[in-house]
Protein backbone atom coordinates (compact mmCIF):
# COMPACT_ATOMS: atom_id res chain seq x y z
CA UNK A 1 0.00 0.00 0.00
CA UNK A 2 2.91 2.37 0.77
CA UNK A 3 4.18 2.23 -2.80
CA UNK A 4 0.71 2.97 -4.15
CA UNK A 5 0.21 5.82 -1.69
CA UNK A 6 3.61 7.26 -2.46
CA UNK A 7 3.08 7.08 -6.23
CA UNK A 8 -0.44 8.50 -6.01
CA UNK A 9 0.60 11.28 -3.64
CA UNK A 10 3.24 12.58 -6.02
CA UNK A 11 0.56 13.60 -8.48
CA UNK A 12 -0.90 15.78 -5.71
CA UNK A 13 -4.08 13.78 -5.77
CA UNK A 14 -6.02 15.03 -2.74
CA UNK A 15 -7.59 11.63 -2.06
CA UNK A 16 -4.17 9.96 -2.13
CA UNK A 17 -2.80 12.58 0.27
CA UNK A 18 -5.74 11.99 2.60
CA UNK A 19 -5.03 8.24 2.52
CA UNK A 20 -1.32 8.88 3.22
CA UNK A 21 -2.26 11.07 6.18
CA UNK A 22 -4.80 8.59 7.54
CA UNK A 23 -2.37 5.70 7.13
CA UNK A 24 0.67 7.27 8.76
CA UNK A 25 -0.45 10.04 11.12
CA UNK A 26 -1.40 7.82 14.10
CA UNK A 27 1.96 6.04 14.21
CA UNK A 28 3.85 9.27 13.51
CA UNK A 29 1.99 10.89 16.39
CA UNK A 30 2.95 8.06 18.78
CA UNK A 31 6.56 8.31 17.63
CA UNK A 32 6.59 12.11 18.02
CA UNK A 33 4.93 11.87 21.43
CA UNK A 34 7.61 9.49 22.66
CA UNK A 35 10.34 11.77 21.34
CA UNK A 36 8.82 14.99 22.64
CA UNK A 37 6.70 13.90 25.60
CA UNK A 38 4.01 16.50 24.93
CA UNK A 39 0.71 16.12 23.08
CA UNK A 40 0.75 19.60 21.56
CA UNK A 41 4.34 19.27 20.39
CA UNK A 42 3.63 15.83 18.93
CA UNK A 43 0.66 17.23 17.02
CA UNK A 44 2.80 20.12 15.80
CA UNK A 45 5.51 17.70 14.71
CA UNK A 46 3.06 15.56 12.73
CA UNK A 47 1.48 18.63 11.18
CA UNK A 48 4.86 20.03 10.20
CA UNK A 49 5.96 16.64 8.85
CA UNK A 50 3.00 16.46 6.48
CA UNK A 51 3.37 20.11 5.56
CA UNK A 52 7.00 19.53 4.61
CA UNK A 53 6.04 16.38 2.71
CA UNK A 54 3.49 18.36 0.72
CA UNK A 55 6.14 20.99 -0.06
CA UNK A 56 8.45 18.27 -1.36
CA UNK A 57 5.69 16.95 -3.61
CA UNK A 58 4.82 20.43 -4.87
CA UNK A 59 8.46 20.98 -5.84
CA UNK A 60 8.16 17.86 -7.97
CA UNK A 61 10.59 15.87 -5.86
CA UNK A 62 10.00 12.18 -5.46
CA UNK A 63 11.06 10.80 -2.05
CA UNK A 64 13.10 7.68 -2.75
CA UNK A 65 12.29 4.37 -1.10
CA UNK A 66 9.95 3.67 1.76
CA UNK A 67 7.41 6.46 2.33
CA UNK A 68 6.90 5.46 5.98
CA UNK A 69 10.63 5.70 6.66
CA UNK A 70 10.79 9.02 4.82
CA UNK A 71 7.99 10.50 6.97
CA UNK A 72 9.53 9.14 10.18
CA UNK A 73 12.85 10.71 9.22
CA UNK A 74 11.13 14.05 8.66
CA UNK A 75 9.41 13.79 12.07
CA UNK A 76 12.66 12.76 13.70
CA UNK A 77 14.48 15.73 12.16
CA UNK A 78 11.78 18.09 13.42
CA UNK A 79 12.14 16.68 16.94
CA UNK A 80 15.93 16.95 16.79
CA UNK A 81 15.60 20.59 15.77
CA UNK A 82 13.23 21.13 18.69
CA UNK A 83 15.67 19.53 21.14
CA UNK A 84 18.50 21.67 19.84
CA UNK A 85 16.51 24.74 20.79
CA UNK A 86 15.60 23.57 24.30
CA UNK A 87 15.76 20.69 26.75
CA UNK A 88 12.30 19.24 27.44
CA UNK A 89 11.38 17.66 30.75
CA UNK A 90 8.43 15.66 29.43
CA UNK A 91 7.29 12.13 30.30
CA UNK A 92 7.97 9.16 28.03
CA UNK A 93 4.98 7.17 29.19
CA UNK A 94 2.29 6.70 26.55
CA UNK A 95 -0.58 6.95 29.04
CA UNK A 96 -1.15 10.68 29.26
CA UNK A 97 -4.38 10.23 31.24
CA UNK A 98 -3.87 7.76 34.09
CA UNK A 99 -6.84 6.13 35.80
CA UNK A 100 -7.71 8.39 38.77
CA UNK A 101 -9.11 5.38 40.64
CA UNK A 102 -5.83 3.46 40.30
CA UNK A 103 -3.43 2.77 43.11
CA UNK A 104 -1.47 5.96 43.86
CA UNK A 105 1.66 4.08 44.89
CA UNK A 106 1.58 2.05 41.67
CA UNK A 107 1.13 5.22 39.58
CA UNK A 108 4.03 6.97 41.32
CA UNK A 109 6.24 3.91 40.82
CA UNK A 110 5.22 3.68 37.15
CA UNK A 111 6.08 7.33 36.59
CA UNK A 112 9.44 6.88 38.27
CA UNK A 113 10.17 3.88 36.06
CA UNK A 114 9.09 5.80 32.97
CA UNK A 115 11.40 8.66 33.98
CA UNK A 116 14.28 6.22 34.42
CA UNK A 117 13.56 4.65 31.04
CA UNK A 118 13.35 8.08 29.40
CA UNK A 119 16.68 9.06 30.95
CA UNK A 120 18.28 5.76 29.94
CA UNK A 121 17.02 6.13 26.35
CA UNK A 122 18.28 9.70 26.16
CA UNK A 123 21.71 8.48 27.29
CA UNK A 124 21.94 6.09 24.34
CA UNK A 125 23.57 7.18 21.10
CA UNK A 126 20.96 8.35 18.58
CA UNK A 127 21.02 5.25 16.36
CA UNK A 128 20.73 2.90 19.33
CA UNK A 129 17.81 4.89 20.73
CA UNK A 130 16.10 4.87 17.35
CA UNK A 131 16.48 1.11 16.87
CA UNK A 132 14.94 0.50 20.32
CA UNK A 133 12.05 2.89 19.68
CA UNK A 134 11.28 1.57 16.21
CA UNK A 135 11.68 -2.15 16.99
CA UNK A 136 9.90 -2.27 20.34
CA UNK A 137 7.70 0.78 20.58
CA UNK A 138 6.62 0.99 16.95
CA UNK A 139 6.95 -2.79 16.42
CA UNK A 140 8.81 -2.44 13.12
CA UNK A 141 10.48 -5.45 11.56
CA UNK A 142 14.27 -5.72 11.36
CA UNK A 143 14.00 -5.16 7.60
CA UNK A 144 12.05 -1.94 7.99
CA UNK A 145 14.38 -0.58 10.70
CA UNK A 146 17.41 -1.47 8.56
CA UNK A 147 15.93 0.38 5.60
CA UNK A 148 15.12 3.40 7.77
CA UNK A 149 18.64 3.55 9.21
CA UNK A 150 20.30 2.76 5.89
CA UNK A 151 22.02 -0.32 7.30
CA UNK A 152 21.95 -4.03 6.66
CA UNK A 153 19.62 -6.22 8.71
CA UNK A 154 22.61 -7.85 10.42
CA UNK A 155 24.06 -4.46 11.32
CA UNK A 156 20.68 -3.41 12.70
CA UNK A 157 20.43 -6.58 14.80
CA UNK A 158 23.91 -5.93 16.19
CA UNK A 159 22.97 -2.31 16.90
CA UNK A 160 19.83 -3.49 18.68
CA UNK A 161 21.84 -5.93 20.80
CA UNK A 162 24.33 -3.23 21.82
CA UNK A 163 21.47 -0.84 22.55
CA UNK A 164 19.70 -3.35 24.79
CA UNK A 165 22.91 -4.10 26.69
CA UNK A 166 23.59 -0.39 27.17
CA UNK A 167 19.97 0.30 28.13
CA UNK A 168 19.98 -2.53 30.68
CA UNK A 169 23.22 -1.27 32.23
CA UNK A 170 21.98 2.32 32.37
CA UNK A 171 18.75 1.19 34.04
CA UNK A 172 20.79 -0.74 36.64
CA UNK A 173 22.99 2.30 37.22
CA UNK A 174 19.93 4.48 37.71
CA UNK A 175 18.54 1.95 40.23
CA UNK A 176 21.59 2.55 42.39
CA UNK A 177 21.02 6.30 42.52
The per-residue pLDDT for 98 is 52
Q: Could you tell me the pTM of the whole model?
A: 0.57
Task: Please name each of the domains of the chain with its CATH number.
Answer: 1-88 (1.10.1740.10), 99-177 (1.10.10.10)
pLDDT in tens, 38-47: 889 999 999 9
DSSP the chain: -HHHHHHHHTTT-HHHHHHHHHHHHHHHHHHHHHHH--HHHHHHHHHHHHHHHHHHHHTT----S-HHHHHHHHHHHHHHHHHHH--------S-SS--TTS-HHHHHHHHHHHHHHHHHHHHS-HHHHHHHIIIIIS---HHHHHHHHTS-HHHHHHHHHHHHHHHHHHHHHHHH-
- Higher pLDDT pick, 26 / 113: 26
**pLDDT, tens digit, 9 for 90 and up, residues 88-102:** 444 454 455 555 555
Amino acid sequence: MEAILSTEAHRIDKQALVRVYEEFSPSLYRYAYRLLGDQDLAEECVSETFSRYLQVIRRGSNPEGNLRAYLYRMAHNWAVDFYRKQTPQAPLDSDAHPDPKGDLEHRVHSRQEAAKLRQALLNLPEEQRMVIELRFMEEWSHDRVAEFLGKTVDATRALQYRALVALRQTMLDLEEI
